[in-house]
Chains A and B, each alone.
Chain A
Amino acid sequence: MTRSHRLTGAAMTLLTGIVLYGFFALKYPYHLHFQEQYQLFEGTWDYFRTVAAVPGGFADWLGRFFTQFCYYAPAGAAILAVLLCGVQWLTWAVCRRRTLVVYALSFLPVVPLAAFYCDESALMGGAVALALSLGAAALCTRISRNLPRSIVEAVLIPILYLACGPIAVVFVLIALIDALVRERLRAWPAAVVFPVLTVLCPLVANHLVAYPLARLATGVHYYRLHNFLPGMLWISAICAVLAVAFSYLPMKERPAKRQLFPGIGLFLAIAALGAVLVGRSADWNKEEWMRYDFMVRMNMWNRIMMQADRKNPDNPTTVSCLNLALAKTGRMEDHQFDYFQNGPDGLLPEFIRTFTGPVSTGEIYWHLGMVNTAQRFAFEAQEAIPDFQKSARCYQRLVETNIINGDLDVARKYLSTLENTLFYRRWARETRALLDAGKIFESRPELARAKDLRLKEHDFLFSDTEMDSMLGLLYVENPDNGMALQYLLSWCLLKKDLDRFVEVIQLLEAPQMPKSYQEALLLRWVLTHNDFEGIPAYLSPAYIQRISQFINDARADASEETMRRKYGDTYWFYYYYRYRTQPQ
């Protein structure tokens, strides 16, 4: 390539890196946080040995090492951008023909790879495995003598399979292409031995490690979910091989001047394809939910409400995060129905057997003072992680719940593992020091608070169907637990159980009448009386007037959209137009 072509190529790589960084750091950062919170990377030999013992384990270990930096999304985005550009550069490094068109073609594997990492289950080990395989191929193509090269390649096949898993087939295919082009018919030993070794590797591994053959042949740790072929990763691997194969095709070399525009054109076409594919692969609903989950984790209550003001959350998990933020900032009673609500599941989502939902739901129970339930949700979420990894975030919560429960040995056990991590070590060491000094509750007010709020006198088995009783007991045992009362009242409102709501509101010594409660009481009055005569004085005339209008509009068969525009911030609108599980 000419110097100008080299510069053009470098600019392409740089531009790709910047775009990838910008996308992951600015548009898609919560997926990176998500990745980080479902792993627990320990900087110990034991950890390395355990992870690397499975085919693909070394790449997986490196991937996990990089993933831990996603604790800071910009750092994770930078690593991902470098990794993806590294795949492009290594593809180029293997290519035989050194033209700008081939350079542009080397971006082809980056496209599906970028789309792959829009999926929250895609693990970084996949790209690392591809990069390692391409790197090994690049090194081998540097060996000019045929026999030594073939021997090195044959030795490397099982080693790469062990280190990178089945994606090492990229190395095998490139080695075969290289051998066939260089040696033609004399390459038959390689053409026989390499495929045989490639097939043998998973077959032998099947007898050595406890994984099914199908997973050993398609990858154990490229994707978080079992029994799911990471299609985009494999397409990327195929693209890398095709790009390399293209560079080996005997073609007439064009003059350098006439390569510039085709090269740039091809690059732009690939970039456009990438934009389309990434756009289609990005899941913005999940990104939004992950954003809420992250903000709950970091106690960013005001930011949650700012986000909700920009775009109303509309699934149970995000709505539950918003409701938690409203409760934590004392705005639930007045503003809960300013936002979209669709049933009690948006207050306390039901337990589901996944690794995602229970994490943020567990946060709600933690703030309510239901320590055992918070512990259960953290433990279960962690156990549900499909690739059997652990979660540093869950470990932190388990440390806290075990300290509150007095299980200090268990708390220290979790701390011992967190002390082996990069970003949680400091917290773990501080916590251990406070535990040893007996000052944990003085120094960690959130623990002292949870210990105070938890149930001490009553024992019962947690039940999704008796949430109101559990919240009631929390408040009865500890009248300072205002959040439990808010949740109880909100639970009644969201379930449209106005009788129970009226029962509960009497628990308040001096009834405060925030907006939602006034609206609920007014609605119950309307449902049980013919007029407003004798209505309690604490119900505002302004609300009485508004409910009258609401009734009139409803009787005039105003459309739901009209009603939403006029009364969308009221409990009445929720009561009649949302969470329609029963006939009104």
Chain B
Amino acid sequence: MKRLTRLVFAALALALAACTSGMRHAAPAGCRPPIYPDYTGVTIPTGIAPLDFALPGADRLEIRITAPDGTALRNRGKSCTRLPIRKWKALLERSVGDSLRVEVAGRIDGTWKSFDSFGIFVSPDPIDYGLNYRLIAPGYEIYSHMGIYERELGSFRQKGLLENTQFDGCVNCHAYNRGNPDAFSLHIRGDHGATLLQVNGEMAAYNTKTDSTLGFCVYPYWHPTGKYIAYSTNNTRQGFHVQPDKIIEVFDLDSDLQVYDVEHNQIITAPQIKRKGIWESFPAFSPDGRTLYFTAAREVQIPGELPQSQYNLLKVSFDPETGTIGQDVETVVDAVSMGKSLTFPKPSYDGKYLMFTLCDYGTFSIWHHESDLWLLDLETGKTRPMDEVNSPDTDSYHNWSSNSRWFVFSSRRDDGSYTRPYIAHFDANGVAGKPFMLPQRDPVHYYLKLYRSYNVPEFVTGPVPLDRIRAQRLIDAPERVPFGFRWSD
């Protein structure tokens, strides 16, 4: 009996020893932990899900996150942390306007190592409810399983809004009016092609091609009043490079701009945004709704002169009362003189800045490894590269949060092929914080096993009330509401 008792005690002692904190006895590594995703020094909002991370090479992981008031959250894991959501949120609430201190220790090759602690700044600026994005394989012409998904930023919940398991076709270019989930435009391509518009809970499927316009509507941008949507219409083709550093090219053979009048179901356009020999694309309204920004390039011979296809940022006035497009087109950013091409102009909703992407040529910056985010100060007219967020790989499609204090962009910095969403803080002085990758419960496993790219990430201020079954019926039905047409006065 005594022997058994001793054995039990020995086993308990062993178990206790195993449970003893590795952090306490760890040898200092003398460097910051090489965690994945890299959350060191990032700025986060209070409403974000736990930033779980992994320490590559470690088979045991221990972390301690300390709030400024000394409250600590400890967590252990085999290869990845698993921070409890409630405790994480409480910790964030205690740290608003200050930094969390994160200490990390890991058992690497049987030896515990403790790394230099790092900070995570908790911004007082709130972030929107969630993100909407398309998940699609970074392919060429053909698509497998894809869809539009909604991710709640405060948790790890993701739900499919519309997937191509429901119908034959592809979903793309979803757009909300400043993140308002009640009004959206969504394109469906393929045999059941349509544009789904939902306004005030009413959804309808439209045929956006008219006899007077080039083709279907592409690249939507809502007018702040919700009465108009600016679209481009593009005659697009794809090409495939033979060189290893380039893969896919998408280019226009022609493109124009148009504004859709939601109330009167009419496309409005004007000769100054439908010029012959000029390719206009990527429209975006200013926050006051009185200016329409867009990109434009001189027509070139495709594919021979594709590297000379470069776009500038232009603007034209717009009168929302009458739906009139102004006469004078003005160049805002001369990217061509920089030897670059400008895509995706997105004004901040406070009207102070405009973010865009610069790449070497063309419109498909999302597949150009040299693509970077740039910022235009609308008050001074000065532009600058956003070095605080850019990476050596593709940093492209971006969107502002409804309060303009956060922006999301897609980047291929992770592996050069699959785009992942990164969120960055943007302060009142126009400086961005270090971006952080969209948190996942087990980020290594999740992103390693995800064979789809995040495409067109958009902030939404609440859950999108999309009736999936009704949408499917509308898509499958042959009826389409035709767009009307009128020239701008």
**Are B243 and A459 within 8 A (Cβ)?**
yes
CB distance from A351 to the nearest CB of B (A): 9
Question: Knowing A210-B147, A210-B166 touch, does A46 contact B244 (C-beta < 8 A)?
Answer: no
List A345-396 residues whose CB lies under 8 Å from chain B.
Answer: 353, 370-373, 375-376, 379-380, 382-385, 388, 390
**Are B416 and A407 within 8 A (Cβ)?**
yes
**Are A353 and B142 within 8 A (Cβ)?**
yes
List A159-183 residues whose CB lies under 8 Å from chain B.
Answer: none
List A436-466 residues whose CB lies under 8 Å from chain B.
Answer: 454-456, 458-463
- The answer, among A227, A402, A454, for a CB contact under 8 Å with B168, is A227
| Cα distance, A288 to B167, chains bound together (Å) | 33
B415 at the interface (CB under 8 A from A): yes
Question: Knowing A210-B166, A410-B417, A461-B303 touch, does A372 contact B243 (C-beta < 8 A)?
Answer: yes
| Cα distance, A266 to B462, chains bound together (Å) | 66
B326 at the interface (CB under 8 A from A): no
Given the complex, which residues of B lie within 8 Å of A388, measured CB to CB?
Answer: 144-145, 165
**Are A212 and B142 within 8 A (Cβ)?**
no
**Are A407 and B243 within 8 A (Cβ)?**
no
List A456-488 residues whose CB lies under 8 Å from chain B.
Answer: 456, 458-463, 470
Closest to A375 in B: B247
Given the complex, which residues of A lie within 8 Å of B241, measured CB to CB?
Answer: 372, 459-462
**Are A212 and B166 within 8 A (Cβ)?**
yes
Given the complex, which residues of A lie within 8 Å of B247, measured CB to CB?
Answer: 372, 375-376
Closest to B445 in A: A46
Main secondary structure of the interface of B (DSSP, over half): loop
| Cα distance, A353 to B165, chains bound together (Å) | 18
Given the complex, which residues of B lie within 8 Å of A206, measured CB to CB?
Answer: 469
**Are B472 and A376 within 8 A (Cβ)?**
no
| Cα distance, A47 to B400, chains bound together (Å) | 35
A406 at the interface (CB under 8 A from B): yes
A562 at the interface (CB under 8 A from B): no
| Cα distance, A455 to B165, chains bound together (Å) | 39
CB distance from A197 to the nearest CB of B (A): 21
| Cα distance, A405 to B239, chains bound together (Å) | 18
**Are A373 and B168 within 8 A (Cβ)?**
no
**Are B239 and A462 within 8 A (Cβ)?**
yes
List B121-163 residues whose CB lies under 8 Å from chain A.
Answer: 137, 139-145, 147, 160, 162-163
| Cα distance, A453 to B446, chains bound together (Å) | 36
A-B interface contact total, Cβ < 8 Å: 107
| Cα distance, A402 to B416, chains bound together (Å) | 11
Contact bitstring A399-432, B, C-beta under 8 A = 1, else 0: 0001011110110010011000000000000000
A577 at the interface (CB under 8 A from B): no
Contact bitstring B423-463, A, C-beta under 8 A = 1, else 0: 00000000000000000000000001101000000000000
- The answer, among B142, B244, B249, for a CB contact under 8 Å with A406, is B244
B242 at the interface (CB under 8 A from A): yes
**Are B244 and A404 within 8 A (Cβ)?**
yes
A284 at the interface (CB under 8 A from B): no
**Are A455 and B242 within 8 A (Cβ)?**
yes
Residue among B137, B165, B244 with max Cβ neighbours from chain A (10 Å) = B244
| Cα distance, A384 to B139, chains bound together (Å) | 11
Given the complex, which residues of B lie within 8 Å of A212, measured CB to CB?
Answer: 166-167, 472, 476
Question: Knowing A410-B417, A416-B448, A461-B249 touch, does A384 contact B142 (C-beta < 8 A)?
Answer: yes
Contact bitstring B59-77, A, C-beta under 8 A = 1, else 0: 0000000000000000000
Given the complex, which residues of B lie within 8 Å of A380, measured CB to CB?
Answer: 139-142
**Are A371 and B142 within 8 A (Cβ)?**
no
A207 at the interface (CB under 8 A from B): yes
Given the complex, which residues of A lie within 8 Å of B298, measured CB to CB?
Answer: none
**Are B416 and A409 within 8 A (Cβ)?**
yes
Residue among B137, B165, B249, B414 with max Cβ neighbours from chain A (10 Å) = B165
11 A-B residue pairings within 8 Å (CB atoms): A226-B168, A227-B168, A370-B242, A383-B137, A388-B145, A388-B165, A409-B414, A410-B417, A459-B242, A462-B240, A463-B239
- Residues on A lying within 8 angstroms of B by beta carbon are 46, 206-207, 209-212, 226-227, 353, 370-373, 375-376, 379-380, 382-385, 388, 390, 402, 404-407, 409-410, 413, 416-417, 454-456, 458-463, 470
Additional A-B contacts beyond A383-B143, A461-B241 (7; CB < 8 A): A46-B449, A372-B243, A380-B141, A382-B144, A383-B139, A385-B144, A454-B244
